Amino acid sequence: AGGVKLQQTSFFLAPSSFRQEQSLPFGKVVVCSDGKTGWIQAPQGQIPMSPEILKQAQGTIFRQLVSLLNSSSANAVGEHSVQIAAGDLAVTIEFDAATGLPSRLKYQEAGQAIDETLSDWRDAGGIKLPFKRGLEQGGAHISDVVVSEYKVNSGLKQEEIEKRP
């Protein structure tokens, strides 16, 4: 009923460095991974990522849209869809027939089917990116994400990704 509004800032440095900062009701949480290891900083302290959380971080890194669209391992699985796989990670991208832009991502995470809709495509640093995402998990709507800003090729450094709070 109305949901909760959260603020999140995500950083991605190709090919595999990821940082996410979230302001939650109980405090700030920072998640950082290079795709092989990672850590989480919460109000209770800092801990290394468990294997399950690391697997989710690897999926998030794998599904970075710019990287997916530059992949050379796409296989057509429908008239307007391709599947991209690497090891045990896979995502199906459906494209809008009218615009040619991705409209949906389908993948598995933690044993659940995830269906992510992409919309409100706008220019961001010379490329079009979705400013709205809707998430369904196991057929149930779980969240809507509205992006306020993208920064592309902004000079982000590895040290900034790895910086501990």
> Residue 121 is encoded by which pair of tokens?
């495509």
**Confidence (pLDDT) at 71:** 87
**Confidence (pLDDT) at 64:** 92
- Other beta carbons within 10 Å of 32: 23
Mean pLDDT value of segment 57-69: 91
Strand partners, 33: 18, 38
Q: Which residue has the higher pLDDT, 3 or 157?
A: 157
- How do residues 7-53 score in pLDDT, each as one tens digit? 889 999 988 999 999 988 888 999 999 999 999 999 999 999 999 99
Are the C-beta atoms of residues 33 and 51 closer than 8 Å to each other? no
- H or E stretch covering 160: helix 158-162
Closest CA to 74 of 61, 91, 87: 91
- How do residues 89-134 score in pLDDT, each as one tens digit? 999 999 999 999 999 999 999 889 999 999 999 999 889 999 999 9
Q: What are phi and psi for residue 115, nearest 5 degrees? A: -125, 115
**Confidence (pLDDT) at 3:** 63
Mean pLDDT value of segment 65-91: 92
